[in-house]
Each structure stands twice: as structure tokens, then as C-alpha cells.
Amino acid sequence: MFNNVTIIGVGLISGSFALALKEKGFTKKIIGVSRTEASLKRALELGIIDEALPLEEAVKQSDLIYVAIPVDATIPVIQQVMELITDEQIVADAGSTKFALCDALKDHPMRKRFVATHPMWGTEYSGPEAAVHGAFEGRACVICEKEKSAADAVTTMENIYKAFGMHLIYMDAAAHDTHAAYVSHISHITSFALANTVLEKEREENTIFELAGGGFESTVRLAKSSPAMWAPIFMQNRENVLDVLNEHITQLRKFKSSLEKENIEYLKELMENANKIRTIIK
């Protein structure tokens, strides 16, 4: 049981984290920190946080500081937090990229009090209103560079995520970013690109969206995601994302070629190969 927990960022992930902490009895008080006064006000109204404070004051009062903000802001904010904490406090993040952050903190004297985590869950929505109960149940959570964090800090975060119903995966930061590019980042770029493709065509044919069904909606759902969050993720994981994009473009060219050459056998072969994903995703 923590006396106080601070969440830096009061949106989808941090808000859902705060709700889960209270539901599981880890703390009675959540302090919120945000650059946006409107977000803090809304988080208070929704009961996600119990108090809003400036960062320095919030950190000094808290046992756990959980950072879930766009990745371009995460490094300077966590560096600021690390200058304020003691050996009794824990800092954890929920960012979608890990290498740049871990590299920036590698020589910090308080590095052992930081636990790099990535709960693999999210929706296309953002802001305090997006926070939901039971968000993390049945999902994976990656913990990076476990050996560089203090054992008690790691155990605490493990216990929290396990209580949320998550299963834990351990890897180094570079491996995390490579895998995240394949299972998360490429999905978002593809969705953004498809939405732009259809929006461009819709200028000519205004009935397109009238015909859109569930398949289209599920495919472009991620295109509703916040650019303020995802643009920094793509840039921070640029090399891995480019690598995945190149492979994705190669696959698209194969489909294009099969259609151009009216090669139905090759087209079926491409789709049958894709069907193998059933053995991985049920």
C-alpha cells in the first residue's frame, strides 16, 4: 500500500493505471500532474485523481511516480523527477519506446530507482475521458533492463502489473523497440496511411463512407489516435519503423504485382501465407 502515487500525465494509460491502483487497493490517494489545466480539472471530476499539484511538490509527497506522457517529453520530465527522488521512491514509465529513455538515464546516480515498463494496451482515444476500468486484464507488460533497477522497485512494479492481470515479458530496450515497431508502430502508420488514402478518394466519391462496414472501421480505427503521441514515437523509433515499413512496402508490391499480372495463384499464395497468423493470434 502506497500513501501517495503521482501520475504524470492524466490520459488514457495513466488514468487507467490510477483507476486500477485504487481498485486493487494499492493506494488511497492519486496526485495528478499535467501541463494542461483542463485535463487536471477533468481528471478530478472523473475521480481519476484526488489532487492536482505542480511536479516538484507532487514528487516529494509520493512513493511511486508513474510517467505516461508523449515520449518526446518523457526523457526531460523523468530526468527532472530523478533529481528530486530518494532511495525510498520508485519511478516508472509506460512509454512505447524504451532505448532512448534508458540510454539517457544509464549514468544517472538514481537509475536503480527507475523501472522501464510498457503495458501493451491502448485505444485510439486520449485524455482523461479515455481512462477505463479493467484496461490491463489479460495483456502483456514489458519490463526492460530489469537488472539495472533495484530489486525492490522491480518487485513492486511486477506485483502491481500482475495484480492488474497482466503477464510480464523481459527484454533489453533495443529489442523492445524492434519488436514494438512490428507489433504496434507499423499498425498505426498503416492505419493513418489507409485513412488518408480513403479520405483522398472520398473527395471524388462521397458514397465511400456510406458503404464502409466493420472491416473498414476496424482497419482504420487506429487512425483516430493522437498525432501528439504517435509522431514522437515514430521519430524516436525511426530506424526500426523504417525497417518495418520497407518490408511492408515489399509485401504490398507483391499484391500489386499479382493483380497487374492477373496471377490469381500467386494472389492466393500470398493470402494463404498470411493466414498462418492464425497460429499466433487466435
> How would DSSP label each residue in 208-244?
HHHH--HHHHHHHGGGGS-HHHHHHHHHHTHHHHHHH
**Which residues have a Cβ under 8 Å from the Cβ of 41 and sit 6 or more positions away?**
52
The kind and range of the H/E element at 158 are helix 151-163
Among the listed residues 73, 109, 112, the one whose alpha carbon sits nearest the alpha carbon of residue 92: 112
SS3 call for 187: helix
**Which residues have a Cβ under 8 Å from the Cβ of 46 and sit 6 or more positions away?**
15, 128, 129, 131
Is residue 6 within 8 Å of residue 62, measured between CB atoms?
A: yes
Mean pLDDT of all residues in 114-126: 95
Whether residue 203 is predicted with pLDDT greater than 90 in this model: the reply is: no
Whether residue 212 is predicted with pLDDT greater than 80 in this model: the reply is: no
Give dist(CA 236, CA 238) in Å, integer.
6
The pLDDT value given to residue 206: 64
- For the record, the C-alpha cell of 43 comes out as 481528471
**Which residues have a Cβ under 8 Å from the Cβ of 99 and sit 6 or more positions away?**
173, 174, 176, 177, 237
Percent of the chain with pLDDT over 90: 88
Condensed to tens digits (0 to 9), the pLDDT of residues 172-197 reads 999 999 999 999 999 999 999 999 98
The pLDDT value given to residue 215: 75
Condensed to tens digits (0 to 9), the pLDDT of residues 29-56 reads 999 999 999 999 999 999 999 999 999 9
Mean pLDDT of all residues in 247-264: 97
Q: What value, to the nearest 5°, has the Cα angle with vertex 231 and ends 72 and 74?
A: 15
Give dist(CA 128, CA 16) in Å, integer.
9
The pLDDT value given to residue 217: 81
Mean pLDDT of all residues in 53-73: 97
Mean pLDDT of all residues in 95-113: 98
Give dist(CA 182, CA 211) in Å, integer.
30
SS3 call for 246: helix
Q: At 91, is the pLDDT very low, low, confident or very high (cuts 50, 70, 90)?
A: very high
Give dist(CA 213, CA 215) in Å, integer.
6
The pLDDT value given to residue 198: 87
Q: Which residue do the cell numbers 479493467 mark? A: 134
Percent of the chain with pLDDT over 70: 96
Q: Which of 19-28, 181-190, 202-211, 223-232 has the lowest mean pLDDT?
A: 202-211
- For the record, the C-alpha cell of 82 comes out as 530523478
Among the listed residues 143, 145, 169, the one whose alpha carbon sits nearest the alpha carbon of residue 156: 143
The pLDDT value given to residue 205: 65
Whether residue 14 is predicted with pLDDT greater than 90 in this model: the reply is: yes
Mean per-residue pLDDT of the chain: 95
Condensed to tens digits (0 to 9), the pLDDT of residues 224-233 reads 999 999 999 9
Taken in order 174, 186, 14, 159, the sign of the CA dihedral is: negative
SS3 call for 168: strand
Condensed to tens digits (0 to 9), the pLDDT of residues 143-180 reads 999 999 999 999 999 999 999 999 999 999 999 999 99
Q: At 275, is the pLDDT very low, low, confident or very high (cuts 50, 70, 90)?
A: very high
